């Protein structure tokens, strides 16, 4: 069952990335570019997690890839993309402001020592293989990135849902599903951070399914000729 849920999450993640990247190619914009980047990172993260399960253990390359794209930046760029949908100038400014911290986080993920013996089982999707949270450990930096991304993603989705509730019910339904997806993914990530394991497959599958359905509904509600999605 767990393997089937992981496969579903991987398949939907890549399908959603393909859908969003196709939208970016048709209508280049900052928010579509950031959404595409965010979904690419998410797809890489769940793929790395699935591969570790199939191999029976993490290896350094897979673990660092999973941590960077999932644990650290699973929702960072999705949140920035949501902000760019409402205010591209603010999103661009925030992205430039975050750039040094993103690069520092990348450096820490690539350089911090690993000790897989700290994990409760060889392929556990936990950050405990890195040193305890500190300014020089990547484990500390997942907190602000995830908090910021979740607040932006959920906040913009909730605002858009309320704004379009009467004007465009289909779009409101889509953004409501995106809001729920943000909550589910954030809850799963929070429980994982506190060492609650075993819910990752269910949370990832539910979250990405809600996100996929939400994006499809919201996309269908906006004409390609002149709208934004």
Query: How far, in Å, CA of 217 to CA of 167, rounded?
Result: 15
pLDDT for the residue numbered 189: 67
pLDDT for the residue numbered 193: 60
Long-range contacts of 86-92 (CB under 8 A, 24+ apart): 86/156, 86/159, 88/29, 88/30, 88/31, 91/30, 91/31, 91/34, 92/30
pLDDT for the residue numbered 225: 37
| Low-confidence spans in the chain with pLDDT less than 50 | 224-229
pLDDT for the residue numbered 198: 58
Domains, the chain, ordered by start:
2-220 (1.20.1070.10)
Query: How far, in Å, CA of 212 to CA of 12, rounded?
Result: 7
pLDDT for the residue numbered 228: 44
pLDDT for the residue numbered 79: 93
Q: CB-side exposure of 151: number of CA atoms within 13 Å?
A: 6
Task: Enter the pTM of the model.
Answer: 0.87
């Amino acid at each position: 069952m767990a393997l089937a849920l992981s496969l579903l999450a991987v398949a939907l993640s890549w399908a959603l990335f393909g859908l969003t990247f196709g939208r970016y190619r048709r209508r280049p914009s900052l928010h579509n570019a950031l959404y595409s980047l965010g979904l690419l990172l998410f797809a890489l993260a769940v793929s790395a997690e699935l591969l570790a399960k199939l191999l029976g253990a993490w290896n350094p390359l897979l673990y660092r890839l999973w941590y960077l794209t999932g644990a650290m930046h699973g929702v960072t760029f999705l949140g920035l993309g949501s902000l760019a949908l409402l205010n591209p100038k603010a999103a661009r400014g925030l992205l430039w402001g975050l750039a040094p911290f993103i690069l520092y986080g990348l450096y820490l993920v690539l350089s911090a020592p690993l000790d897989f013996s700290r994990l409760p089982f060889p392929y556990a999707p936990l950050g405990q293989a890195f040193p305890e949270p500190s300014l020089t450990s990547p484990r500390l930096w997942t907190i602000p990135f995830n908090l910021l991304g979740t607040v932006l993603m959920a906040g913009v989705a909730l605002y858009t849902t309320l704004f379009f509730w009467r004007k465009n019910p289909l779009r409101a339904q889509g953004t409501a599903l995106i809001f729920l997806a943000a909550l589910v993914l954030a809850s799963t990530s929070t429980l994982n951070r506190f060492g609650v394991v075993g819910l990752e497959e269910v949370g990832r599958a539910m979250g990405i399914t809600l996100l996929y359905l939400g994006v499809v509904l919201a996309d269908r509600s906006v004409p390609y000729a002149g709208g934004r999605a």
